[in-house]
Structure 1
Amino acid sequence: MIKSFEIEESNLSPNFIGSWIIDNSLCNELVVYFENNQANHGQGAAGPNASINLDAKNRIDLRISPKEINLSKNKVLKMYFDNLFECYKDFCDEWPYLKKIARNLNIPGFNIGKYETGQHYQAIHCERVGIGTLHRLFAFMTYLNNVEEGGTTYFDNYNLEIQPKKGLTLIWPAEWTHTHRGNKVIKGNKYMITGHLCFSIDET
């Protein structure tokens, strides 16, 4: 007969969610970049190859490919990722084992998104959900503005609710341990940039 067994509890209870604040002026530039590229906006889908489901995810996305980062017209994207990698280096200093297994991460396509009042990403989800997403190691997100009311990110396994704050940047594991949702924006808009830090295909 199988019985559950309680191991000794540790005094440490990390949630492995890193957090930093980046420059507000960079956030402003990214919002302007989003609004200046409305011709490329699209309704965001809840996951790779997923169909549009507004009950699960209701957000407008500007999808950007990695090859666009270094275009001269996209200097703001290069500046953002320079900041993000500084955050990641700090994350590795906190968890040094990452320096052994995750030295050459890359970024596939990513999104700058906007939620208007009443919109949300209500579906509880994680970032690694099958064979097609096994290469994802971490998710990243930066809030690009302060949200007047609502719009929090809720990590249900940790009962952790994070209020959007301009410049607040998060990095967290892609695994099922970090399921989360984006709660409905009650007042105002919510801008953010989000994507994944992934193992390179040729990495062994």
Structure 2
Amino acid sequence: MVIDWIDMDQFIYETTFPKDVCDGLIDFYNNDEEFKKHPGQISNREDTKSDDKESIDLSIPVGYVEFDQRLDVYFNFLHQSFVTYFQKFEQARLPCKISEIFNIQWYPKGGGYKIWHFERTNNKHAIRRHLVWMTYLTDNPYGGTEFYFQDLYIPAEKGKTIIWPAEWMYTHKGRPDMEKEKMIITGWMEFTAKGMGELT
């Protein structure tokens, strides 16, 4: 029997946002006084070791976006990216919306999400995840993202935005940059009962 494997790379969508949009998000992370930064956690573990994940995260409710122009501008670009994704992959246009919480993350030199993982699990916070989105806020050519089954490496380039499915077939990890700090913004599209949610 001959098995013709599907090219799974095709479901990883890449686009680029303006660098000044990234600068606005970095400014928000550095100067926001509304929300508290915290060490990054792995959702299915009580304790996260720095050998597995090392970051300082700012978790933001999506409902806050409309109150800050820097976030609002970014989400307008993100909305258009999802419109394009669903036009290309019409079957993926299932009832979904942006997750209630998204994260801006800072990684020190040598930091990152260093172990293989995927985004949709049986954890109560992850079980409804449909698609993942991430934008690199800094240039880290040696500190990008590796996809296991696709044998794919995506370098971190400021403004580069990636959307991909949350399932196990897209197991991935961050490659630590030993020379430079790194920042990203990331979150999920989550399944809902009905209708595609508005991106606020």
Would the TM-score normalized by the shorter structure come out above 0.5?
A: yes
Question: Is there any run of 5+ residues in structure 2 with no aligned partner, and where?
Answer: 196-200
Point out the structure with the larger strand share: 2
Q: Is the 8 A contact 1:46 1:52 kept in 2?
A: yes
Report the counterpart of residue 92 of structure 1 in structure 2. Answer: 86
Cα distance in structure 2, aligned partners of 1:30 and 1:188: 18
- Cα deviation for residue 95 of structure 1 reads 0.9
Identity of aligned residues (%): 28
Is the radius of gyration larger for structure 1 or structure 2?
Answer: 1
Q: How does 1:1-204 map to 2 (within 5 A)?
A: 5-7=1-3, 9=4, 13-15=7-9, 16-37=11-32, 40-47=36-43, 50-71=46-67, 74-99=68-93, 101-102=94-95, 104-130=96-122, 132=124, 133-147=126-140, 150-200=142-192, 202-203=193-194
- Cα deviation for residue 50 of structure 1 reads 4.0
Deviations 1:85-105 (A, max 9, x none): 101111111112233x24x42
- Cα deviation for residue 185 of structure 1 reads 1.2
Question: Is there any run of 5+ residues in structure 1 with no aligned partner, and where?
Answer: none
Deviations 1:69-124 (A, max 9, x none): 122xx22111111111101111111112233x24x423220100011211121111
Q: Is the 8 A contact 1:19 1:171 kept in 2?
A: yes
Query: Stretches of 4+ moved more than 6 A in 1?
Result: none
Normalising by structure 1, we get a TM-score of: 0.87
Deviations 1:122-150 (A, max 9, x none): 11100011152221100100001112x53
Q: Is the 8 A contact 1:46 1:57 kept in 2?
A: yes
Normalising by structure 2, we get a TM-score of: 0.88
Cα distance in structure 2, aligned partners of 1:145 and 1:119: 14
User: 1:42 corresponds to which letter in structure 2?
Assistant: H
RMSD of aligned alpha carbons: 1.9
Q: Is the 8 A contact 1:92 1:98 kept in 2?
A: yes
- Cα deviation for residue 49 of structure 1 reads 6.0
State the number of aligned residues.
192
- Cα deviation for residue 33 of structure 1 reads 0.8
